[in-house]
Structure 1
Amino acid sequence: MPSRFIFSLRFSSKVLVKLAKLSLAMVLFMSLLRLNLFMLSAFAKVEHNSFLEILHSFGAGIRFDILIFGFLLIPIYFILLIQAICEKWPKWIFIFYKIYFASIWLIICLLSYIDFFHYSHHGRRMRFAEYSSWTPELTWEQMQALQTNQALFFTISTVILLVLGYMLIRGLQFGQWKDEYSPQKGSKLELALRIVLPLVLIVLAARGTVEAHHLALEHSQVSDNSALNEMALNAVWCFDK
């Protein structure tokens, strides 16, 4: 007779897959934020760069975006593993997961919004030093330096992406782990795959590369144009730099 642990572990895998899919959707949304940055600001700064260089910048940007959610999924993985071992799945924990991702998405959108006006003015992403001295008045001044339609379109698009992310989070359905009962007995291979494989994938995502060194600033250097290189980064990654 299979133990309750394997059922609990299977359910934890199910929850993790749902959260991983949500993370991938948010990576897509971050790419759309970068596309807005390109269309509304960076385009004029990179008009002499080739299409392949611009495409390479977007590709590098996806790696930096995945890195963010790789780090965010690390604590989620261990919480789920503890739950699987304890075989406890209270309803409040699913609310916590939703609040966790909703808070993160709000922070990403806010930082990206502030960073847009800094990038438009300076041609580079904000770093921790700029965030430390940031004031709403500074963003307002940078906003006024742009054309009204630029600021308005980016504001509207950011709000739309914020709402879409919130809707995805709110619509998450995790089910109940008791539905995972099955006559199938878990093998050692299944245990290894459900415990080790997700951790390996999450760590790789958080590192951003399979190379000896993790993803770093040099991985955004796709051309001689610093504005294009900076576009590959994201506001969250630059926050502690």
Structure 2
Amino acid sequence: MSRTLRATALSAALLGALALSGCGSDTAAHTPTSAFGKQTAAQISEAVRSDMSGVRSVTIDGTTKDARLHVSLADDGTCTGSVEPTSGGKAQVIEDASGSYVHGDAAYWRGQASTDADRTRVERALKVWDGRWVKSPRSGGYLLLQCDLKSFLPLLTSGDRTLATKGDERKVDGVEAVALNADQAGVKSTLWVSTDAPHRIVRLTEPSSDAVYTLSHYDQPVSIQTPDPAEVYDLAAANKKKAE
């Protein structure tokens, strides 16, 4: 399989899939009544930026128009989860210091191919991998960005949210939260921020991409267990052997 296809197959597991479905025990929205909710949008934005900076782990569940996922990330650079592209199939994802691991079914891998040449490579690769985990290095373009918590968190609070407008207050998945609405470069989004300290993001929505991001289980341990080497197909090792 070509490097491009490998990178696409791996990154597709999480990139663009930072989203959760908008389900849960949400209550009707109302004008902010909490002391935190009564603050200005700029004050709320600064509070969430500060409180999110100390997060040690988080779990994300959700959907976009391209995929559904469940992933837990920790500040030591590890992550574990699963992804179900709308194109079909399902894959498990694990990443730690030793590398990135993806265990996808045949439908998942076939869904990563966009050309006849790629489809031919996928069919050939499936025979070689034979249901094993596929391992690639964390460097050289294979890194799953959303598996890097320290890179991911700033993305959520980046941008000039001092220009945001404050919205309603309501319970989101059982957490009382206030909304911050923003329109940056034509991309509209809403952050729901918990009114109780620490003030963290409960949900983020981006209507233009049909994405609803919900974050939970902050600072809870993330258990990572890498696959047995006997169940792993190492792409880097295989490519090195071919080059020799």
Structure with the largest fraction of helix = 1
Q: TM-score scaled to structure 2, two decimals?
A: 0.32
Normalised TM-score (structure 1): 0.32
Structure number with bigger Rg: 1
Q: Which one scores higher on RCO, CA 8 angstroms, separation ≥ 6?
A: 1
Q: Quick check: which one's strand share is greater? A: 2
